[in-house]
Amino acid sequence: MNKYIIPFNKPYLTGKELDHIKDAVARGKISGNGYYTQKCHEFFQERYGFKKCLLTTSCTDALEMAAILCDIQPGDEVIVPSYTFVSTANAFVLRGAKIVFADSRKDHPGIDESKIESLITSRTKVVVPVHYAGIACDMDIIMDIANRHNILVVEDAAQSIDSFYKGKPLGGIGHFGCFSFHETKNINDERFCKRAEIIWEKGTNRAEFFRGEVNKYGWVDIGSSFLPSEITAAFLFAQLEQLDTIQNQREGIWEEYNNRLKQIKEKGLFKLPVIPPYATNNAHMFYLVFNNLELRSEKIKSLLENGILSVFHYLSLHKSLFYRGKLVGRELPESDRYSDCLLRLPFFYELTNEHFEYIINKITYYKK
Ligand SMILES: Cc1ncc(COP(=O)(O)O)c(C=O)c1O
């Protein structure tokens, strides 16, 4: 019997969640866009200086809203890294876009900025950098390409809350930024703000009506039910209030993993995450990149035998069952390498020192 079962993830509760939910119910407006939704919007707008935030039920919804706002038409091309979650691409596929997959960087799973320009055609409308593990893509390069070719940038900042590129908050640099975990969407270009609110409210101008700007509301555009209930917003706000505490703790865990694993890294079996000088680290996850699939599979198995759950991550989207037939003859070797070799270690707020010692011990153990 193992001494421990250590999960990969364990949600952290601040203790205020139920109080806020009770309060949201007592306020009598639980369908959404009430007190707690506003509090969440204000949090992001004030803390990060985002122009306009709209809370959505998920990052998937936020990406789908962004695709509508980019006015994607059938046949438009969208450049997306292959090493990402399906939602990054799906949001645009739903509007009829053709996805043009880009490879990852050699030193980091994020999109290889140097490959983007060669993928641009007269049909390219959007590029979607994904800040993998909360580590920024080189946004100056991406914004420069986008501006020169007149294309929009949607940052998939699903993992990037409280992370920065050259001092600018991720999700706040492109035309749109989409977050997960804390499930917010933010819009950085004022041209899109009004329409975004309508799409968010099922295609109606209800938000304007609630503010007293119009005396009735109706159907004015396409849209969907992207707006979460106040119960979700109340839960989220309890977590946002503790963001600094949560981040401090997570950063400590990340540093500890990094310092301890530097020693075994020298054996050359795996590489540690690279943080480019222009990026901060929000300690979203800790991953290792093994030299090959066999080494990674062996490690997942041996950790599991010791009660430790470690997991791989994305599988190259260009090789997915859904997309592979649509792609003609382009190899994306770095994306495939991360699909085969990247391993994520247990990472959560309540990881104790005792757990930690045990995990490090089992990671660094190799049979002779
Ligand atoms: C890069 C990326 N984008 C989007 C999403 C979707 O986020 P959500 O689950 O909030 O819809 C995920 C989820 O894992 C993700 O990793």
In terms of Cβ atoms closer than 10 Å to its own Cβ (0-12, 13-18, 19+), residue 275 is: middle
Q: Is 60 in the pocket of ligand 1 (CB under 6 A)?
A: yes
For ligand 1, atom 8, name the residue with the nearest CA: 59
pTM beyond 0.75: the answer is yes
- Return the axis-axis angle of helices 86-93 and 59-69, rounded to nearest 10°: 30
Mention every residue, 6+ apart, whose C-beta is less than 8 A from residue 295. 269, 270, 341
Single-letter residue type at 209:
F
Instruction: Compute the distance from residue 159 Cα to the ligand 1 centre, in Å.
Output: 8
For ligand 1, atom 15, name the residue with the nearest CA: 85
pLDDT truncated to tens, each residue of the chain (368 aa)?
456 689 999 989 999 999 999 999 999 989 889 999 999 999 999 999 999 999 999 999 999 999 999 999 999 999 999 999 999 999 999 999 999 999 999 999 999 999 999 999 999 999 999 999 999 999 999 999 999 999 999 999 999 999 999 999 999 999 999 998 654 566 778 899 999 999 999 999 999 998 899 999 999 999 999 999 999 999 999 999 999 999 999 999 999 999 999 887 667 889 999 999 999 999 999 999 999 999 999 999 999 999 999 999 999 999 999 998 777 668 999 999 999 999 999 999 999 989 999 999 999 876 65
CA–CA separation, 148 and 313 (whole Å): 34
Instruction: Compute the distance from residue 130 Cα to the ligand 1 centre, in Å.
Output: 10
CA–CA separation, 107 and 271 (whole Å): 9
What is the CB neighbour count within 10 angstroms for residue 8? Answer: 14
CA–CA separation, 244 and 188 (whole Å): 24
